[in-house]
């Protein structure tokens, strides 16, 4: 599932709020606020993609995410690794550690995380 940048922004608000009416989502945007028709269009597209669901309360819809933030992010990273690094997580890690100008301390922290994951996989 691929969401546009604006759809991802709406998802960020939904993940934070967990459930929200359209008014809540519009209020979450910085000024200038988007038009309600714009948010309604985004929500409809996101429903069609299976990212958002809703329950009806009277004349209002309460929206909620159908995908978790970590699940969505993991799929995006996996897609990027497949598209740009020929599916190689090693190539991605090499690029990530060199292109992001990580400090020695950050690299040490990353090493600890990798070591922890290795221990988990071995046990």
Domain-by-domain residue ranges, the chain? 5-65, 69-122
Distance CA 123, CA 110 (A): 20
Would the pLDDT of 1 be above 90?
no
**DSSP-based helix, strand, coil % in the chain, nearest 5:** 65, 10, 25
Answer positive or negative: Cα dihedral of 20, 23, 26, 31: negative
Q: What is the pLDDT of residues 20-75, one digit of tens each?
A: 999 999 999 999 999 999 999 999 999 999 999 999 999 999 999 999 999 999 99
Q: For residue 92, which of 103, 107, 80 has the smallest C-alpha distance?
A: 80
CA-to-CA distance for 84 and 72, rounded, in angstroms? 18
Q: What's the CATH architecture for 5-65?
A: Orthogonal Bundle (1.10)
Question: What is the residue-averaged pLDDT of the chain?
Answer: 94
């Amino acid at each position: 599932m691929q969401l546009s940048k604006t759809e991802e922004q709406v998802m960020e608000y939904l993940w934070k709020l967990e459930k929200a009416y359209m008014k809540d989502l519009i209020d979450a945007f910085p000024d200038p606020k988007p038009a309600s028709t714009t948010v309604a269009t985004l929500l409809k597209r996101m429903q069609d993609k299976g990212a958002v669901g809703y329950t009806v309360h009277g004349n209002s819809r309460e929206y909620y995410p159908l995908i978790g933030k970590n699940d969505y992010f993991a799929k995006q990273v996996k897609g990027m690794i497949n598209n740009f690094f020929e599916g190689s997580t090693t190539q991605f890690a090499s690029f990530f550690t060199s292109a992001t100008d990580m400090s020695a301390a950050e690299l040490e922290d990353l090493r600890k995380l990798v070591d922890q994951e290795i221990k988990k996989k071995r046990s």
